[in-house]
Structure 1
Amino acid sequence: MAEQKKIFHGWWIVLVAFLSVAITYGTKGVFGVVQLQMLDDLHWTRASIAGAMSANMLVYAVAAPFVGRFMDKIGIRTVLIAGALLTGISFLLVTTVTQTWQFYLYYGVLLGLANTGMGMIPGPTAVNRWFVKKRGRALSIALVASPGGMAVFTFLAKDLLKTIGWQGMFMVMGIASLVVVIIPAYFLMRSSPEEMGLLPDGDSQPAAAVNTGTPAPVAANEMEWTLTKLFTSPMAWCLFFAYFIMGGNGWAQQVHQVPHLIKMGLSKDAATVALGMNMVLAVLSMLIWPTISDFMKRSTAVVISLSIQAIGTVLLLNATDITMTYAFVFIMGISHYGSYGLFSAFAADTFGRKSLGTVSGAMAMVGAAGAAIGIYAGGAIYDATGSYQLLWQLAIAGLLIGVAVVLILGQMKSRQEVAAKLNA
């Protein structure tokens, strides 16, 4: 009887990444629900609560590139366990807060730092190292945990807040971070298949090329990328600009689309339902786009996705009735969220597997900066002009420029691969 083929360990890596992303973004997404009970109990201002979230994002943005670089040096498992441990401790400390400075310290600073060791840096980095030919498909499974985690924790909060309160909810999130992430990470996480004597995708021999249009890593593609090299690379700046615009527009829409739609004449209920439908479509987007990119050039998939997002933003700009609104919701919802997996895979294709922690950390910083600027710009533009029209016009222009720079990056990458083959 033939020996049963074992499951490729890379799929266990996907499981660990899924769990870490689910906990990170599930707990972050439920904050909007939990804060309401905190406001009632502690009698703080909304600005003080929002300020802690802003501090969290700022600390994350500053720390991300350095944590990513550190991860390349000491390994993904160590960083992931440390991130989960600090996340759990931060949530447990939040249960004791009575003053706003404590909340800023525990939720803003400690949790902001902890999130760099969880979520979108270690998990996707590990998946990108374990897969090449099936990179998009593996990432789609890992990253769908983001909207999935938000849905699960929001559902839990609905009932748990009534019985155990906000302190109990933070305690649940802390324990979940410690148990759900640390134990699987300790036993299953490895930084690369080479650590276990394996090859990416479970292949028995190195692949010279991938017939899906996504080439396997070549020698020139496996150079070590320090932060200095990365931030002086034209290829990196093309990638960063497109990622910055994509993230900034997405977050700007998440925060400002409801008031924009109300300003355009929709009811509050209709505008809110439209936002909720975006989150439902996010799950499909996360599954579809990274998977599709395994069967074409990754740069082509990114260009198509950004182009569709530009069309969706045009629809939002002109959404004066429910038909136009739902057309926007469908097109933007099905195209935006999956772009995070697309860009993660595209970065791995472009810069190789060796320094992926450094690359992922830098991208996380750029994405957080885009989110912060997009959210702030929306408020500032509305205050100055009385509408969001200019915001969406700038976003459309940025997305189209992003399409152009991705095409340029694709050309630079193709020339690099040809040169590498000639020198081999």
Structure 2
Amino acid sequence: MNSTKWVVAAGAALAIVVAGAFSTLAGLLVGPLHEELGWSRSAVGLGSLVNMVVYGATAPFAAALMDRVGMRKVAVGALGLVGGGALLATTMTAPWQFILYWGVLVGLGTGATATTFAATVTERWFVARRGLVAGLLTAASVVGQFVFLPLLSWVIDAWGWRAAAYGLVFAVAGALPLVYAAVRDPEPRAAPVALHSLRNVNFLRSGPFWLLAGTFAVCGASTNGVMWTHFAPAAHDHGMPTTVAASLLSLIGIFNIAGTVGSGWATDRLDPRRLLAAYYALRGLSLLALPLLLSATVDPPLVAFTVAFGLLDVATVPPTIALCRAHYGTGAPVVFGWVSAAHQVGAGSVAYVGGAVRDVFGSYDLVWVGAGVLCAVAALLSLVIDRGSIDRGRIDHGSTRPATAQVIDRV
């Protein structure tokens, strides 16, 4: 049993890595689709908007589906969706097809293999070392999203964007049998917490939820929405090769890991609200400075920005989860799933608006400034959130009702 759970975690990590590579490829497709097919950047951005919204909205429902049919079927089905969407994308001739193939199909698949999948594997298979496993699976997502970017960028430069899409399809084909063999559910399966929560969403009427959702929407807007989608084309506008810009994004991904681990350590010791305020404020300042740093070459100030942004990028996750736990107890993972949906709505909105701004003004400068201002707003909102108490979410052990149902009812 002990070895089995680590095999399951390894299979889940493989699925997360492969699906994660699809999450950031769209940022490398903006220029090629504009140049080859003549699509506007806002049209490509609309596909990214749909992708990110579908990604975020899928997570809670994917968790419910895992409760009903099992993790293996959902993971394999999700990989099939991303592979099928990428394969169909190679035949595109109109923007609506990008919206359908990449926005909907790839969005569904990547959303089903995101944070909710990692949380479900951790919850069902591990009692000790849950934090370690959750951190490792989060790191797997970062690896998929950033580490392969330079390789994908090189493939696009050498053989075109379709070759990169085919490469990811082959990666899915290779991963599918391994994921099928490794990922499984323990017997008996856990109680259907996520499924129950879809019918019991009283937390939507609480102020802390909307403050957390609002700040996390800004998090998505200032990371996935602006950096993952528009950094590479913005750097290219300044004469920087796309492969070099992709390498900088990979460097951000490497420092994401250190930033997340360090933020988790700090969250255990400091007020998470103040940590969030500091992270958003510093991120906003870095984004405001970026238009002054972009050039055709990589110099020390731009490297410093890359390191700083990497440390701040995913650092918001531990304190946000901590605040969810403080207000909603052991129902926090469910609530965090819905907060994550807000993250993707913010990301998708800025992905679309950023492309439209570039089409109208011929520059991304206003996009960086706007994202910086949003971060300043999020910093202020973070300080308004009530700190809450873990006591509010504790289970009444004297009740005869299932513990999971008690928690969800309180949420």
1:377, 1:154 → 2: CA distance?
23
Match of 1:200 in 2: none
Answer yes or no: is the 8 Å Cα contact 1:289–1:301 preserved in 2: no
Report which stretch shifted further, 246-255 or 104-113.
Answer: 246-255
Kept in 2, the 8 Å contact 1:223–1:354? The answer is: no
Q: Distance in 1 between matches of 2:284 and 2:159?
A: 41
What secondary structure, in the 3-state scheme, does the structure 1 residue paired with 2:389 have? helix
Superposed, 1:2-401 pairs within 5 Å as 7-34=2-29, 36-39=31-34, 41-131=36-126, 134-158=129-153, 160-161=155-156, 165-180=160-175, 182-191=176-185, 195=188, 225-226=197-198, 228-251=201-224, 253-254=226-227, 277=248, 279-290=250-261, 293=264, 297=268, 300=271, 303-304=274-275, 306-317=277-288, 328-340=305-317, 343=320, 347=324, 356=333, 358-359=334-335, 361-375=337-351, 387=366, 389=369, 391-401=371-381
Q: What is the letter of the counterpart of residue 70 of structure 1?
A: L
Contact 1:67 1:361 in 2 (8 A): no
* SS of equivalent to 2:121: helix
Name the residue aligned to 1:212.
Answer: none
Report the CA distance shift for 1:72/1:196 in structure 2 as closer, same or farther (over 3 A). Answer: closer
Q: Does 1:414 align with 2:386?
A: no
1:349–1:16 CA distance, 2 compared to 1 (3 A): farther
> What amino acid is aligned across from residue 362 of structure 1 in structure 2?
W
Shift of 1:301: 5.4
Cα distance change of structure 1 residues 21 and 87 upon mapping to structure 2, 3 Å threshold: same
State the distance in 1 between where 2:158 and 2:289 align: 44
Q: How far apart, CA to CA, are the structure 2 residues paired with 1:144 and 1:67?
A: 21
- Count of aligned residue pairs for this structure pair: 386
Q: Report how far residue 48 of structure 1 moved.
A: 3.8
TM superposition score normalised by structure 1 = 0.70
Structure 2 Cα separation of the partners of residues 13 and 160 of structure 1: 32
CA 1:304/1:49 → structure 2, altered by over 3 Å: closer, same or farther? closer
Stretch deviating more after TM superposition (129-138 or 169-178)? 129-138
Q: Which runs of 5+ in 1 are unaligned?
A: 1-5, 198-220
- Counterparts of 1:149 and 1:124, CA distance in 2: 17
What CA distance in whole angstroms lies between the structure 1 residues aligned with 2:168 and 2:244? 27
Distance 1:138 1:47, change over 3 A: same
Q: 3-state DSSP class of the match of 1:145? A: helix
Answer with 332-341 or 365-374: which moved more: 332-341
* Per-residue Cα deviation, 1:174-216 (whole angstroms, up to 9, x for no partner): 2322431x3333233245x66489xxxxxxxxxxxxxxxxxxx
SS in 1 for 2:102: helix
Gaps of 5+ in 2: 294-298, 401-411
Which residue identity lines up with residue 364 of structure 1 in the other structure? S
Distance 1:348 1:418 in 2: 10
Which range moves more in the overlay, 281-290 or 343-352? Answer: 343-352
In the aligned structure 2, how far is the partner of 1:94 from the partner of 1:295?
Answer: 43
2: CA distance, partners of 1:348 / 1:188: 30
Measure how far apart 1:82 and its partner are: 1.4
**1:394 and 1:21 mapped to 2: Cα distance?**
29
Q: Does the 8 A contact of 1:135 with 1:294 survive in 2? A: no
- Partner residue, 2:382: 402
Aligned to 2:296: none
Kept after mapping to 2: 8 A contact 1:57/1:112: yes
| Contact 1:315-1:324 within 8 A present in 2 as well | no
Change (3 A) 1:306 1:36: same
Aligned-pair RMSD on alpha carbons? 4.6
Counterpart contact for 1:246–1:306, Cα < 8 Å: no
Q: What is the alpha-carbon distance in structure 1 between the residues aligned to residue 354 and residue 212 of structure 2? A: 24
Offset, 1:96 = 3.2
User: Structure 2 vs 1, CA of residues 310 and 46 (structure 1 numbering), >3 Å: closer, same or farther?
Assistant: closer
Change (3 A) 1:35 1:397: closer
* More displaced stretch, 32-41 vs 98-107: 32-41
TM-score by length of 2: 0.72
**1:211 is matched with which residue?**
none
Distance 1:27 1:232, change over 3 A: same
- Distance across 1 between alignment mates of 2:102 and 2:246: 26
Using the aligned pairs only, state the percent identity.
22
Q: What are the superposed Cα offsets for residues 209-232 of structure 1, whole Å, 9 maximum, x if unpaired? A: xxxxxxxxxxxx999533523423
Q: Which amino acid aligns with 1:339?
A: T
- Three-state SS of the structure 1 residue aligned to 2:92 is coil
